[in-house]
Amino acid sequence: MPSDGSAVSWAAVFAGAVGAAAFSLILILLGTGIGLAVVSPWSGDGASAKAIGASTIIWITVVQILASVLGGYLAGRLRSRWLTVHTNEVYFRDTAHGFLAWAVATILMASLLSSAIASTLGMGMKAGGAVVAAAVPAAAGAAAAAMPDDKSPDYYIDMLLRSDAAPAPAAGNPPPATDNTAEVGRIFAHAIATGEMSSADTRHLGQIVAAKTGLAPAEAEKRVTETFTRFKTSIDEAEVKAKKAADDARKASAGTALWLVVSLLIGAFAASMAATFGGRLRDSSVLANP
């Protein structure tokens, strides 16, 4: 029966939206399965990260187009006929039905996949921040525990109790074996925190190295300086890598968000056009009831 009382056939809109949402879910699961099939944890196997990212963007766009076309077509084909409405107005209403079906389907899918969308957009920055937070402790090793907190008194207790000269062993007796690893780690940590190692710390570590290795004091202090320089360089390199990883994650999240917007706009256009096609079929003389 013709109906000119309402410009919107909500039953047709919701039917198209449900069809589009269900078809989207099927295509998303299909894409996930294909993606997992081509990914491999083994080095050199499977698709590269760039290939996976590009294929994901393409698949998201394809899903939007196919599902939106289906939803828009259903909304246009199932809506009521408007016998007394001008052709231009019918075209506009069909376009609106396709757009509304796309909008409802988008809201449905966003509700179902809200956690996945939030994870996709937020995980990049969270992962980057975690990398930044963990990079320096990972590079610093034993020194990491002392670096975040300047209130620890261990370094200053060591400085209070240290001797200005290496202890001389009794005649005929070997020097006592002392484990200075923890103290050395605290000195290195303090030097990293302040940006440089003081001459007093360098001299003290030189005494420890000389006692352990038998090197001359000057050679021992030179080894201390070289070792600390390499240690500080490794931490600086780790920080640079961590910042690069965070920046890459930020760019990936931004790119994903922008492509999602583009694909949604494409889907809205496709749904609107498909609805006009379905509406024309609905109103054609061949399909219309006599």
* Distance separating alpha carbons of residues 104 and 286, to the nearest angstrom: 31
127 is a domain residue: no
Report CA-CA distances (Å) from 29 to 32, 60, 204.
Answer: 5, 11, 64
126 pLDDT band, cuts 50/70/90, is low
Q: pLDDT at position 134, please? A: 46
User: Which of 250 and 162 is assigned the larger pLDDT?
Assistant: 250
SS (H, E, C) 84-122: CCCHHHHHHHHHHHHHHHHHHHHHHHHHHCHHHHHHHHH
152 is a domain residue: yes
H or E element, residue 55: helix 49-78
Q: Identify whether the C-beta of residue 243 lies closer than 8 Å to the C-beta of residue 130.
A: no
108 and 153 share a domain? no
131 pLDDT band, cuts 50/70/90, is very low
Rg (alpha carbons) of the chain, rounded to whole number:
34
User: Which of 279, 272, 247 has its CA nearest to residue 65?
Assistant: 272
- List of long-range contacts for 27-31, beta carbons under 8 Å, 24+ apart: 27/59, 27/62, 27/63, 27/66, 27/67, 28/63, 28/113, 31/56, 31/59, 31/63
248 is a domain residue: no
Q: State the DSSP code for 141.
A: G
90 and 234 share a domain? no
Mean per-residue pLDDT for 162-177? 54
Most confident of 38-42, 69-73, 244-248: 69-73
Find the length of the chain. 290
288 is a domain residue: no
83 and 165 share a domain? no
What CA dihedral angle connects 261, 267, 273 and 278, to 10 degrees? Answer: -150
5 is a domain residue: no
pLDDT digits (tens, 9 = 90+) for 85-108: 888 888 899 999 999 999 999 999
Q: Is 147's pLDDT higher than 70?
A: no
Per-chain mean pLDDT for the chain: 78
19 and 117 share a domain? yes
278 and 192 share a domain? no
145 pLDDT band, cuts 50/70/90, is very low
User: Which of 183, 128, 111, 186 has its CA nearest to residue 152?
Assistant: 186
112 and 176 share a domain? no
74 and 29 share a domain? yes
246 is a domain residue: no
User: Which of 183 and 163 is assigned the larger pLDDT?
Assistant: 183
H or E element, residue 282: helix 217-283
16 and 101 share a domain? yes
Q: Is 148's pLDDT higher than 80?
A: no
80 is a domain residue: yes
234 and 273 share a domain? no
164 and 203 share a domain? yes
34 and 111 share a domain? yes
Q: pLDDT at position 37, please? A: 82
* Distance separating alpha carbons of residues 10 and 7, to the nearest angstrom: 9
95 and 61 share a domain? yes
User: Which of 33 and 177 is assigned the larger pLDDT?
Assistant: 33
Q: pLDDT at position 16, please? A: 94
User: Which of 206, 202, 193, 203 has its CA nearest to residue 235?
Assistant: 193
Counting the structural domains of the chain, the total is 2
* Distance separating alpha carbons of residues 43 and 39, to the nearest angstrom: 11
4 is a domain residue: no
Q: pLDDT at position 265, please? A: 95
H or E element, residue 214: none
Name the residue range of residue 198's domain.
138-240
